[in-house]
Amino acid sequence: MLIKKHQYLAFVLPAVFFILLIIVVPFLIGIYYSFTDSNGLRSSFIGWKNFEVLFQDSTFLQSFWLTVKFSFVSVILINLVGLAFALIVTSHNNRLTKSLRTIFFMPNLIGGILLGFIWQFIFTSAFQAIAAAFHLDFFKGWLSNPSTGFWGIVILFVWQMSGYIMLIYISFLNAIPKNTIQAAVLDGAKATQIFFFIQLPQLAPAFTISLFLTLANSFKLYEQNLALTNGGPYRSTEMISMYIYNTAFVNFQQGYAQAAGIILFLCVTIVSFIQLALSRKREG
Amino acid sequence: MKKSTKILLGFLFGIIALFWFYPFIIVIINALKGKRGIFQNPLWFTRDFTFSNFKTAYQALDFTSSFFNSLVITVASVIVITLVSAAAAYALSRVKGPFSSILYYLCAGTMLIPFQSIMIPLLSLFGKVNFLNRTSLVIMNTGLSVSLSIILFYGAFQGVSKTLDEAAALDGAYPFKTFVYIIFPAVSPMTGTVVILNAMKIWNDYLLPSLVVNKDGMYTIPLKMYSFFGETNSQWQLALAGLVLSMVPIIILFLLLQKQVMTSVTEGAIK
């Protein structure tokens, strides 16, 4: 053994310290909190009460359901757009496709708050101008209506994430041996046949990765939600992260908010285990 | 493919790209206008053209100070994260045993926990001892990022042959020296990935800083942008100029390091 015990500890202990202090300890305290009526100053143990009330709290249920709906829609759209982009930029290798790659990826560099403000301007001012110029009511008042407000967040998120997911698909598309495709072309395969019979099957692991990455990210979405609609009108576009934040730091029901946080954790964990099981099954 | 189809496809792709890029364009165009120009036509340039919004926004955002706060917090966090996680990952990759596996699973497990599920107790923990400032933000950023970084480094160290360690040991080097001078430099591409991934995340973060350093003199760019946006009261020309200022640093950096950034992002997602 080259590394002695005390040396080993010197290497790993800083990391252990940070993980325990910032994640494990708060997580354990959090589990306890979720069984209390803490308001940040004082708290007493109330058993399962928070969870019982949560499942009858229409604001919570609405934000939870909205998050599920949002995740479902955005996962599908982001993966479709991301895959389409990946196919576009890998179709040729020239200066155009290189700059396309940059452009498609660029929104991913910008933080959620800034993204929210950019799109707030588009959905209010720019859409208003389009509505006035072409007499299209479709473009009116997007953020003052619960349903278009919802789609506004979806559009923003698709714009942000598609370029990211594109990169994952690109790396799997590039891993397909060039001569497989050349052979298919020589045999007279059409572009659609190449896509469905050669590329698509090779992309299976990319689907799993991308699907769950988008799912996890959309479940945790907060900043875009805050800067674009701030949950409005009337908390109708408030997703679960914002619900937790507002309950804890605006209404000071910290124990209750923490119970919602535990539910969020359980959802993310279940989703991750499904992913793990799926990719294990494929490898095995 | 026929030449005409090729040109047609290129044209179509160009239009898609333009459409995708248009949100950036519209922000820049309207940042260069007065209030009236935005009202007249927000979709394109009008005769109303001015640079003055940038000056006003720069001052209102206290941009020099917010920029340096963002920079200091990001750089400090990234340095600590990189050192702490590389050291731990090195030990994990070289010493196999129950403690190493427990630690590895601890990293994988803590990655599952969403920040929103720990933010309330985390804040009350640090709030109780009155430790909410830039230093504690760096500590929290580190705790939230080491798990993924350790797993990324672990993969890279596995790929470095142990004969290097043995040769160094024969030459009389201590493990610490071997790590610093031989093994760590050997994984520099992965170090680049870890640095870029964490820097992007921390630079853009809003939620955690809003809970920890939401006070005068400590504002980061996203924090200041959020409060500035509230103050501008639908004076879009100022808000948009502020947005442009806030986006410029990261976009310039990206254009310089483009290839490396995209590789890093892909690696971070796939590993």
Boundaries of every domain in chain B = 1-48, 59-268
- Highest mean pLDDT among A38-42, A203-207, B152-156 belongs to B152-156
Taking an 8 Å cut-off on Cβ atoms, the answer to whether A167 and B266 are in contact is yes
Average pLDDT rounded to a whole number, residues B216-226:
94
Confidence of residue A161 (pLDDT cuts 50, 70, 90): very high
pLDDT of residue A283: 64
Average pLDDT rounded to a whole number, residues B15-24:
94
- Strands (DSSP E) along B135-199, which ranges? none
Question: Which residues of chain B lie closer than 8 angstroms to A11, CB-CB?
Answer: 87-88, 90-91, 175, 179
A91: tokens are 């179709």
The percentage of residues in chain B with a pLDDT greater than 90, rounded to a whole number, is: 80
Q: Name the average pLDDT for chain A.
A: 92
Residue range(s) defining the domain that contains residue A63: 54-283
pLDDT of residue A95: 87
Residues 166-185 in A contacting B (C-alpha not used; CB under 8 Å): 167-168, 170-171
A141 backbone φψ class: left, alpha, beta (φ>0; ψ -120 to 50): left
pLDDT in tens, A130-150: 998 898 889 988 998 999 999
Asked if A121 and B236 touch (Cβ cutoff 8 Å), the reply is yes
Residue B86 CA to residue B180 CA, distance in Å, equals 10
Confidence of residue B1 (pLDDT cuts 50, 70, 90): low
Quote the minimal CA–CA distance from A28 to chain B in Å: 9
pLDDT at A256 over 60: yes
**Least confidently predicted of A274-283, B28-37, B195-204:** A274-283
Confidence of residue A275 (pLDDT cuts 50, 70, 90): confident
Average pLDDT rounded to a whole number, residues B174-185:
93
Nearest to A122 among B26, B113, B139 (CB): B26
Burial class (CB in 10 A: 0-12, 13-18, 19+), A1: exposed
pLDDT at B269 over 90: no
For the segment(s) B59-268, the CATH number from 2.40.110.10, 1.10.3720.10, 3.40.630.10, 1.10.10.10 is 1.10.3720.10
The percentage of residues in chain B with a pLDDT greater than 70, rounded to a whole number, is: 100
pLDDT of residue A49: 96
Domain-embedded: residue A24: no
Nearest to A265 among B113, B175, B269 (CB): B113
Residue B73 CA to residue B222 CA, distance in Å, equals 13
Taking an 8 Å cut-off on Cβ atoms, the answer to whether B114 and A118 are in contact is no
Residue A27 CA to residue A231 CA, distance in Å, equals 27
pLDDT at A1 over 70: no
pLDDT in tens, B39-52: 888 888 888 889 99
Q: Is A136 on the interface with B (CB under 8 A)?
A: no
Residue A168 CA to residue A81 CA, distance in Å, equals 12
**Least confidently predicted of A89-93, A155-159, B198-202, B257-261:** A89-93
Dihedral, CA atoms, A253, A256, A261, A267, nearest 10 degrees? -150
Q: B214 or A283, which is more confident?
A: B214
Residues 222-241 in A contacting B (C-alpha not used; CB under 8 Å): 222-223, 226-227, 240-241
Burial class (CB in 10 A: 0-12, 13-18, 19+), B152: buried
Domain-embedded: residue A10: no
Question: Helix-strand-coil percent breakdown of chain A, rounded to 5?
Answer: 80, 0, 20
pLDDT in tens, A58-99: 999 999 999 999 999 999 999 999 999 999 999 888 888 899
Question: Which residues of chain A lie closer than 8 angstroms to B17, CB-CB?
Answer: 99-100, 103-104
Confidence of residue A202 (pLDDT cuts 50, 70, 90): confident
pLDDT of residue B184: 96
pLDDT of residue A52: 97
**CA angle, corner B216, sides to B215 and B220, nearest 5?**
75
Residue B151 CA to residue B105 CA, distance in Å, equals 10
Average pLDDT rounded to a whole number, residues A223-228:
96
> Which of B78, B113, B120, B265 would you mutate first to test chain A, the one with the most A CBs within 10 A?
B120
Residue closest to A7 by CA, chosen among B228, B176, B112: B176
Domain-embedded: residue A106: yes
pLDDT in tens, B27-79: 999 999 988 888 888 888 888 889 999 999 999 999 999 999 999 999 999 99
pLDDT at B231 over 80: yes
pLDDT of residue A284: 55
For chain A, the domain total comes to: 1
Domain-embedded: residue A104: yes
Q: What is the CATH number of the domain that holds A113?
A: 1.10.3720.10
pLDDT at A120 over 60: yes
Average pLDDT rounded to a whole number, residues B114-141:
96
Confidence of residue A40 (pLDDT cuts 50, 70, 90): confident
Domain-embedded: residue A165: yes
Average pLDDT rounded to a whole number, residues A19-48:
95
Taking an 8 Å cut-off on Cβ atoms, the answer to whether A12 and B106 are in contact is no
pLDDT of residue B6: 82
Average pLDDT rounded to a whole number, residues B226-253:
92
The percentage of residues in chain A with a pLDDT greater than 90, rounded to a whole number, is: 71
pLDDT at B97 over 80: yes
pLDDT in tens, A258-270: 999 999 999 999 9
Domain-embedded: residue A89: yes
Asked if B78 and B142 touch (Cβ cutoff 8 Å), the reply is no
pLDDT at A218 over 60: yes
